[in-house]
Structure 1
Amino acid sequence: MQAAIDILDEEGDAGLTFRALAARLATGSGAIYWHVADKDELLAAATDQVIVRFEPQDVERLSPQEAIRALSQGVFDAIDSHPWAGAQLSGNPFQYAVLRILEGLGTQVVALGVPERGRFNAATALLSFMLGLAAQYAVASRHFRDASDRATALRAVAAKWVELDPEQHPFIHHVAPLLPEHDDREQFMAGIDLILAGIDTSR
């Protein structure tokens, strides 16, 4: 798994082949097939390992809200460190890594005291927001090599936004200057807090 993760970090999904992995491990492809059936299973297992590494510890010491924030930060940091994992999470929402996240969220939603009829909606609202982040990072990883690429691209987007008719797009004009410099992690956690506030109100 670690060798697969290393290849994915260096070369992305396209670089991970059983031949490349066998060469990295100095073994034959047959030895790898003994452990995983195909590339999809290998990607799912690598994604799950990445998520596990960023899971918060000692969540029982946290309040449910704090535990959800900690889990959310862990998912963000996992995807930020391994953008290919974003593509895997968003591309296959039924893989075990996603179920692991949902279980963690659902446990805390129950602890919040959300009525049974609202638990699924509350937990999946949080999960869907996270998978939206995952999809964003998957796209960004294909277009931006590093932070400077991202900033340059966002400045170009903001410049196009400013060219729009301000009477038809007043909000876009208002937020255009914020786009190039905004902090992704801060914005993501603000979204989690908004969902938590909504859950608290509905509760």
Structure 2
Amino acid sequence: MAKKSTRGPERERRREDALTRERIVDAAIALLDADGEDGLTFRALAASLATGPGAIYWHVTNKGELLVAATDAVVARTMGEVRGSTRPHEAIHRIALGVFDAIEAHPWVGAQLSRAPWETAMLRIYERLGRQVEALGVRGRAQFTAASTLLGYVIGVSVQNATASQFARRELAPSTNRVDFLEAAAARWSELDAREYPFTRSVAAHLPGHDDRKEFLAGIDLILAGIAGRPISSSAT
């Protein structure tokens, strides 16, 4: 009687043994980048990893946990790639741009950060910003206010920019470039009712030529100027 081959089960066992949480998270990030949160299913993930859903559930219990892990992985890598600086202003610029570019590349990260601000990913960013606030000489309870204000601006503007970029890619005709789109928007602004929108009309001419990253950093500088020019007392509530 011929001996039954065990090569198939052995190969399957080796493949499952090689499946790690890190591999699962990396595959999840690729799916999220390609198809957004709706595209992240355990069936799609299993197909991507050439394994069964059961093997994935051994490492990750549900989609929510996977989203948290994927977000943390992106943010951890981003913070790890941010070059340090002995000058707090420059360090804050680098941290902020790192987050800005990461959310632009992975829009789902911004949504997840906004949805679960208490998770480790947000704390990584807050910690890095907070250390620089401390290096600026901010003391006492003012540290919380300054760091939280910076964090809110960095996340909020980064998410807004990524959302606008997604809309532009999805809704605009392929022949419509950014300049044409902004010029059309500026034209609409300039035609608004002068009594109801006097300010918006007055700045319309600046819309087409603005640079998103430069404007983002300019906002950071406004916050830093406020911190430097009007320090909050350590007893502030």
Question: Scaled by the length of structure 1, what TM-score is found?
Answer: 0.89
Instruction: Tell me: CA distance 1:11–1:106, structure 2 relative to 1, closer, same or farther (3 Å).
Output: same
Residues 1:76 and 2:104 aligned together? no
2:220 to 170, 188, 192: 192
Q: Deviations over 1:53-101 (max 9, x none)?
A: 2224452x42122111110111011112112212112222222111110
Q: Aligned to 2:61, what secondary structure does the other structure show? A: coil
- Gapped runs of 5+ residues in structure 1? none
Letter in 2 for 1:181: G
Using the aligned pairs only, state the percent identity.
54
Instruction: Tell me: CA distance 1:47–1:82, structure 2 relative to 1, closer, same or farther (3 Å).
Output: same
1:173 to 177, 187, 201: 201
CA contact (8 A) 2:83 2:94 kept: no
CA contact (8 A) 1:89 1:97 kept: yes
Q: Aligned to 2:141, what secondary structure does the other structure show? A: helix
2:121 is matched with: 97
157-166 vs 65-74, greater mean Cα deviation: 157-166
Distance 2:179 2:57 in 1: 42
CA apart distance, 1:43? 1.2
- Gapped runs of 5+ residues in structure 2? 1-24, 232-237
CA apart distance, 1:52? 2.1
Q: Deviations over 1:25-61 (max 9, x none)?
A: 00111222222221122112111221222224452x4
1:182 is matched with: 210
Question: Scaled by the length of structure 2, what TM-score is found?
Answer: 0.77
2:35 is matched with: 11
Residues 1:161 and 2:189 aligned together? yes
Q: Deviations over 1:119-156 (max 9, x none)?
A: 00000000000121243145325522279565555444
Residues 1:118 and 2:142 aligned together? yes
Letter in 2 for 1:166: A
Greater fraction helix: 1
Instruction: Tell me: CA distance 1:138–1:118, structure 2 relative to 1, closer, same or farther (3 Å).
Output: same
Instruction: Tell me: CA distance 1:164–1:178, structure 2 relative to 1, closer, same or farther (3 Å).
Output: same
Distance 1:138 1:131 in 2: 11
Distance 1:138 1:2 in 2: 21
Distance 2:158 2:114 in 1: 6
- Alignment map for 1:18-33 (pairs within 5 Å): 18-33=42-57
2:64 to 40, 64, 67: 40
CA apart distance, 1:161? 1.7
Letter in 2 for 1:183: D
Distance 1:27 1:155 in 2: 50
- Alignment map for 1:131-150 (pairs within 5 Å): 131-137=155-161, 139-140=163-164, 142-145=166-169, 148=176
